[in-house]
C-alpha cells in the first residue's frame, strides 16, 4: 500500500505540474466566445500503453449553457482526433442535434462546431468521442481551458503550503519516509505508520526530482515505468531505474550522480538538511555546507547527510527559472565553493526546488533585505520571496539570526500583494498568538498589525468579483489573522457576515474555507448574536459540527458574555456532557485567561466551574498552562493558599506547578528578549514610524 500511494503521488504530480500552454504561445491565445458556458465536464479515458504508441481513447459529456441563440459552439482542443460522426448535442427536452461541420484553428486551438439549426438559449449536453496521444512535448493536452499565465498562482500557493508544512512536521513529528522494507518484501508487510508520512512528504521529494531532471525527462521516465510495469508489481528501484534511463538519454548534465543514490538519501532518512551559505566578501568566494536540522530545544547535531541539489541566483544574474542543479553537495563532502560578484546577494534553492532550508551569513541576509525593500523585489521569484520569510523566521527560532533582521526582511511585504509571498507569514501568525501577549513583544505585534492592515487595504477587505482564487483564499486567512490581532474593521466585517448567516443560514451560507468565522465573527458580537448562536447549538438547527459552535461561543471578547457562558456551563448541565464541559472550559481559558475579570471569576467559582473529569491539580495546571503574566500566576498562587490551606497535598502539588510555570515564563521572556531586544538597535524606531502605513513615501534603512 505504501508504494502504491507513492505511485499515486507521482501521477498527481505529473498532472498537477503540466503547464497549460507554452510561453511562446501566450500572445496568440484567444478567449472563447462568452455565449457558451461550460458547467460540468464528465470525461472517461481508456489508455493503451505500448512502446512507441502511447494512446488514449476518450468520451466527454459536457453540460453547457447557451446564453443567447446561436448556431455555433466553440471550445479549446489540442492534438485530439475528434470522431466527428459521433458528436451530438442534446437539449433539456431530449432533442438531438448533429453538427454539420467541425473546424479547428491550429493557431488558437479553438474547435468550432457549426449546426444547421439555430440553438436557442438553454441547457445542453455535448457528447464527443476522441483519440489522443501521450506525446513528447508535454504541452499537447487535449481539451483544456487555457490559463493566461504559464503556471497558475494557485499551484505556487499549494507548493509553498505543502513544503512549509512538511518542513515543520519533519523536525520530529514526521519521521523517515523510508521505502526500504526491513522485515519483508511484500507490500502487505509495509509498516502502516509510514502511511501518513508518505502522504505528506513523498510529493515534495518527487517534486524535487521533477525539478532536478526537468519535466520532459520526468514524464518520459514515468511513461517508461508505466509501460514496463503495467501488468506487474514494482518497487521503488524500478521507478528510479526508469527515471535514470530517461535521464541517460537526455542532454541534462548528470555525470556525477545517479537518481537512486540521490533519492535513497532522501527517502530513507528522517528530517532534512539546513544548508549554510557563507561568503568571503574580499575574494567573492561562496562556501556551502550542510547540517541536519535540529528539533526545537535539541542541542546535539545529528550527522545525517544528503545529496543536495544546489541552485542559485544572484543580483547580477537574477534568473530563477532554471531549477537544474548547478552543483551537488554530496554526503561525503564537507563543503563546496564557487565565486560570485562580492557586491551581489545570493539566493539558494530556486523556486524551492530542494527540500531544505537555507541560512546565510548576516551580511548576505542584509543584502537580501535591502533589495526586497526596493521596487526591484519583483525580480526575486515569488516562491523564493516566500522562502525568505519562512527560512528567516526558522533561523530566529533556532537563534541563528536576530529578530530585528527578520522584521527588516518581512517589512518588504508592505509592497508585495502576492498572496503566495504572504502565505508563510500568515502561517506564522496563526501559531504565535500567545507569545505576542508578552509586553516584550509589543513592537513585533505592532509591526504585524501594520503589515496586515496594509495588505488588506491593497487587496480590499471585502474583495471584488474579479479576484483570483489565491487572493480569495489568502484574504480569508489575512482577515482571520487581522481579527486575532485586534483589527476593528475586520471584526466588524466578519461579525456582520456571521450575524446574517445565523439569521438565515440557507441564504447567507458560510463556506468550508470560512468556518473560522464562527469564532472570529463572535469576537465583536453582542449578547443578541451570542444568544442566537447558542440557541442554534441547543436546537441543532445547523448541520455544523456542534464542537465548532461551542468553540465559536467562547470567542466573544465581552467578558460579561463569557462569564454568562461559564455560568450556563456550570449550572445547566443538561446542555453539555462531561466532554463538552471540558472542551468549552479549555477553549475559554486559551482565549481569555489573560483577562483579569474572567480569571477572577474562574478562581472565585473554582469548584462550580471545574469540569468533573478534572482533579484540582489538573484544573490548576490547565489554568497555569494558559497564563502568560507573572501577576496571573501570583493570583492563582494566592487563591490556592487561601482556599486549600487545609489540604497540604494539593498545596504541595500546586506549588510545583506554580514554580514550573514561573520558570517556563522566565525562559520564554529571556528567549524573546534575546531574539527581539530592540535596545541593541539604536535605529529601531525607524522601523515602526517611518514604515508606518500612514506614510506614503518609503525610505530605506
SS (H, E, C) 174-203: CCCCCCCCCCCCCHHHCCHHHHHHHHHHHH
- The set of cell numbers assigned to 325 is 542543479
- The set of cell numbers assigned to 63 is 453540460
* Residue 390: how many other CB atoms lie within 10 Å: 21
C-alpha–C-alpha distance, residues 68 and 73, integer Å = 11
Condensed to tens digits (0 to 9), the pLDDT of residues 57-78 reads 778 888 888 888 888 888 877 7
Condensed to tens digits (0 to 9), the pLDDT of residues 606-663 reads 999 999 889 999 999 999 999 889 999 999 999 999 999 889 999 999 999 999 999 9
Domains of the chain: 36-133 (2.60.40.1730), 423-465+476-683 (1.25.50.20)
What are the distances in angstroms from CA 302 to CA 202, 297, 685? 22, 14, 40
C-alpha–C-alpha distance, residues 326 and 312, integer Å = 8
Q: Cell 458528436 belongs to which residue?
A: 87
Helices (H), 95-152: none
**Residue 162's pLDDT is what?**
72
Condensed to tens digits (0 to 9), the pLDDT of residues 4-50 reads 555 555 555 544 443 333 333 433 444 566 678 777 878 777 665 55
pLDDT band at 238 (very low <50, low <70, confident <90, very high): very high
C-alpha–C-alpha distance, residues 433 and 454, integer Å = 20
Q: Output DSSP code: residue 574.
A: G
**Residue 93's pLDDT is what?**
87
Query: Greater confidence, 591 or 137?
Result: 591
User: Is the pLDDT at 163 greater than 80, yes or no?
Assistant: no
- Return the H-helix or E-strand segment holding 112: strand 110-119
Condensed to tens digits (0 to 9), the pLDDT of residues 259-310 reads 999 999 999 988 899 999 999 999 999 999 999 998 766 777 789 999 999 9
Q: To 5 degrees, how large is the angle CA 416–CA 418–CA 421? A: 85
Query: Greater confidence, 109 or 103?
Result: 103
Integer Rg of the chain from CA:
30
Instruction: Tell me the HSE value of 34 on the side-chain side, using a 13 A CA sphere.
Output: 0
Percentages of the chain per state (helix, strand, coil), in multiples of 5: 50, 15, 35
Best-predicted range by mean pLDDT (33-37, 105-109, 174-178, 346-350): 346-350
Using DSSP's 3-state secondary structure scheme, residue 45 falls into strand
CB–CB of 313/383 below 8 Å?
no
Q: State phi, psi for 311 to the nearest 5 degrees.
A: -120, 150
Does the global pTM surpass 0.85? no
CB–CB of 207/383 below 8 Å?
no
**Residue 423's pLDDT is what?**
93
Condensed to tens digits (0 to 9), the pLDDT of residues 216-233 reads 999 899 888 888 887 788
**Residue 48's pLDDT is what?**
59
**Residue 67's pLDDT is what?**
83
Could you list the beta-strand ranges (E) of 138-244.
none
Name the β-bridge partners of 525: none
Amino acid at each position: 500500500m505504501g508504494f502504491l500511494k507513492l505511485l499515486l503521488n507521482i501521477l498527481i504530480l505529473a498532472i498537477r505540474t503540466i503547464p497549460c500552454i507554452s510561453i511562446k504561445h501566450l500572445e496568440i491565445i484567444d478567449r472563447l466566445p462568452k455565449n457558451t458556458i461550460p458547467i460540468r465536464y464528465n470525461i472517461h479515458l481508456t489508455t493503451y500503453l505500448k512502446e512507441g504508441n502511447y494512446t488514449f481513447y476518450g468520451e466527454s459529456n459536457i453540460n453547457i449553457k447557451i446564453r443567447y441563440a446561436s448556431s455555433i459552439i466553440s471550445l479549446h482542443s489540442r492534438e485530439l482526433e475528434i470522431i466527428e460522426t459521433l458528436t451530438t448535442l442534446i437539449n433539456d427536452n431530449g432533442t438531438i442535434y448533429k453538427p454539420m461541420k467541425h473546424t479547428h484553428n491550429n493557431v488558437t486551438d479553438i474547435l468550432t462546431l457549426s449546426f444547421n439549426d439555430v440553438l436557442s438559449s438553454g441547457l445542453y449536453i455535448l457528447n464527443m468521442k476522441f483519440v489522443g496521444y501521450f506525446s513528447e512535448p508535454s504541452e499537447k493536452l487535449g481539451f483544456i481551458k487555457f490559463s493566461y499565465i504559464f503556471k497558475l498562482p494557485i499551484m505556487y500557493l499549494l507548493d509553498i503550503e505543502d513544503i512549509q508544512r512538511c518542513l515543520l512536521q519533519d523536525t520530529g513529528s514526521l519521521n523517515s519516509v523510508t521505502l526500504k522494507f526491513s522485515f519483508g518484501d511484500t507490500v502487505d508487510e509495509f509498516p502502516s505508520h509510514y502511511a501518513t508520512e508518505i502522504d505528506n512528504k513523498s510529493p515534495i521529494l518527487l517534486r524535487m526530482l521533477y525539478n532536478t531532471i526537468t519535466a520532459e525527462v520526468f514524464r518520459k521516465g514515468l511513461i517508461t515505468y508505466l509501460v514496463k510495469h503495467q501488468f506487474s508489481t514494482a518497487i521503488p528501484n524500478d521507478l528510479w531505474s526508469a527515471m535514470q534511463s530517461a535521464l541517460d538519454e537526455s542532454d541534462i548534465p548528470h555525470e556525477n550522480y545517479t537518481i537512486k543514490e540521490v533519492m535513497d538519501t532522501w527517502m530513507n532518512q528522517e528530517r532534512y538538511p539546513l544548508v549554510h551559505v557563507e561568503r568571503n566578501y574580499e575574494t567573492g568566494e561562496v562556501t556551502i555546507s550542510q547540517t541536519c536540522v535540529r528539533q526545537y530545544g535539541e542541542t546535539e547535531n545529528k550527522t545525517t547527510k544528503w545529496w543536495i541539489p544546489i541552485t542559485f541566483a544572484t543580483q547580477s544574474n537574477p534568473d530563477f527559472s532554471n531549477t537544474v542543479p548547478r552543483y551537488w553537495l554530496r554526503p561525503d563532502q564537507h563543503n563546496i565553493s564557487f565565486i560570485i560578484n562580492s557586491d551581489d546577494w545570493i539566493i539558494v534553492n530556486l523556486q524551492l526546488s530542494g527540500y531544505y532550508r537555507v541560512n546565510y551569513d548576516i551580511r548576505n541576509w542584509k543584502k537580501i533585505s535591502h533589495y526586497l525593500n526596493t521596487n526591484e523585489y519583483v525580480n526575486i521569484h515569488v516562491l523564493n520571496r516566500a522562502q525568505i520569510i519562512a527560512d528567516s523566521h526558522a533561523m530566529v527560532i533556532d537563534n541563528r539570526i536576530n529578530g530585528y533582521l527578520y522584521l527588516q526582511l518581512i517589512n518588504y511585504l508592505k509592497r508585495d500583494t502576492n498572496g503566495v509571498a504572504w502565505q508563510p507569514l500568515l502561517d506564522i501568525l496563526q501559531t504565535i498568538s500567545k507569545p505576542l501577549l508578552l509586553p516584550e513583544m509589543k513592537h513585533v505585534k505592532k509591526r504585524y498589525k501594520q503589515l496586515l492592515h496594509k495588505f488588506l487595504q491593497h487587496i480590499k477587505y471585502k474583495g471584488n468579483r474579479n479576484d483570483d482564487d489565491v487572493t480569495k483564499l489568502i484574504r480569508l486567512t489575512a482577515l482571520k489573522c487581522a481579527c486575532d490581532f485586534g483589527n476593528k474593521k475586520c471584526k466588524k466585517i466578519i461579525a456582520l457576515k456571521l450575524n446574517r448567516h445565523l439569521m438565515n443560514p440557507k441564504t447567507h451560507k458560510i463556506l468550508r474555507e470560512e468556518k473560522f468565522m464562527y469564532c472570529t465573527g463572535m469576537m465583536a458580537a453582542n449578547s443578541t448574536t451570542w444568544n442566537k448562536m447558542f440557541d442554534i447549538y441547543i436546537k441543532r438547527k445547523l448541520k455544523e459540527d456542534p464542537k465548532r459552535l461551542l468553540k465559536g461561543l467562547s470567542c466573544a471578547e465581552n467578558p460579561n458574555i463569557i462569564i454568562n457562558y461559564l455560568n450556563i456551563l456550570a449550572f445547566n448541565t443538561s446542555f453539555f456532557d462531561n466532554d463538552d464541559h471540558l472542551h468549552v472550559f479549555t477553549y475559554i481559558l486559551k482565549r481569555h485567561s489573560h483577562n483579569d475579570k474572567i480569571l477572577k471569576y474562574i478562581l472565585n467559582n473554582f469548584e462550580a466551574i471545574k469540569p468533573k473529569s478534572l482533579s484540582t491539580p489538573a484544573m490548576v495546571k490547565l489554568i497555569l498552562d494558559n497564563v502568560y503574566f507573572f501577576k496571573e500566576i501570583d493570583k492563582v498562587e494566592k487563591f490556592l493558599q487561601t482556599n486549600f490551606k487545609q489540604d497540604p497535598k494539593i498545596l504541595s502539588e500546586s506549588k510545583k506547578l506554580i514554580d514550573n510555570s514561573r520558570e517556563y515564563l522566565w525562559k520564554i521572556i529571556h528567549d524573546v528578549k534575546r531574539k527581539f531586544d530592540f535596545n541593541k538597535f539604536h535605529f529601531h524606531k525607524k522601523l515602526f514610524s517611518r514604515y508606518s502605513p500612514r506614510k506614503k513615501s518609503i525610505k530605506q534603512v
